[in-house]
Amino acid sequence: MDNAKDLLQTQRGRRQISADAVAVDQRQRMLAALPDAVAENGFEGTTVEHIVKLGQVRRNSFYEQFADKRDCFAAAHEIAQERLLGVLTFQCYTRSGLADRVDAALGACLDLLAGNPSLARLLVIEAPAAGEEIAARHQEWLERYARLLQLAAVGSTDVATPRPALENAVVGAVVSRVKQLILADEIADLPRLGPELLELTLCYYGSPEPPLRVSAAAEGAESPQPQSPDRRGALERA
């Protein structure tokens, strides 16, 4: 009798484990399907039906995992950002020079996006327009990437002093340039932006401009007033 009970409990445990495994598999398939669905239909045009059809799962399975398509999108967005972050940080950890780190990180990022067009559209085009909450989370990720610019200089053999308060502007410029090619349906050409974006990003580093030196005699003199080009030319001719 005890053996029968043990056998029944073991069978129930196996069924429970199997159900959990199925649920995990279904969730992964839906999350993998979402970028393709959104790339084809846009966020607003994407429906739950699009997602479950591409993921090859039942509709009720979707609602067992997600509240709605926005919930599914938010989860897929986090996964995509984590993947991109991993690519960027790995390149920094495996190289010593600042320029080499930035070059390798940008190259790996562009290769990832070029090889995954749906992922590229989700990260760059759709996330900022997928509602206030997701847009805010997207901005937090951009700020996290901006902080990586500071971390990339730590321990570098050719380190320079980062220019303060410009990291967000640099990341914004890089994203804007990538967005141009995605909107032009030239995602496969993203890797060719590497040299251009490397030059742009390296502008963030370097010592600030030296202060203007003023002679002791000039310190007490009245500052010259700006003149029109015509007036300045007349004075030079005189």
Q: Both tokens of residue 186?
A: 């030239």
Instruction: Note the pLDDT of residue 204.
Output: 87
Mean pLDDT confidence for 25-33 = 94
With cut-offs at 50, 70 and 90, classify the pLDDT of residue 113.
very high
206 DSSP assignment: S
Instruction: Note the pLDDT of residue 164.
Output: 66
Q: Both tokens of residue 175?
A: 């994203």
Give residue 3's identity as a one-letter amino acid code: N
Higher per-residue confidence, 94 vs 33: 33
Tens digits of residue pLDDT in 114-164: 999 999 999 999 999 999 999 999 999 999 999 888 888 887 766 666 776
Q: What is the mean pLDDT of the chain?
A: 82
DSSP per residue, 75-117: HHHHHHHHHHHHHHHHHHHT--SHHHHHHHHHHHHHHHHHH-H
Tens digits of residue pLDDT in 168-213: 999 999 999 999 999 999 999 999 999 999 999 988 886 444 444 4
Ramachandran area for residue 7 (φ above 0: left; ψ -120 to 50: alpha; else beta): alpha
Give all domains of the chain, ordered by start, each with its CATH number.
Answer: 69-202 (1.10.357.10)
Instruction: Note the pLDDT of residue 3.
Output: 56
Instruction: Note the pLDDT of residue 102.
Output: 92
- Whole-number Cα distances in Å, 100 to 88, 169, 189, 193: 12, 21, 22, 16
CB 161 within 8 A of CB 170: no
- Classify each residue of 84-120 as buried b or exposed e, where b means 16 or more C-beta atoms within 10 Å of its C-beta: beebbeebbeebeebbbbbbbbbbbbbebbbebbbbb
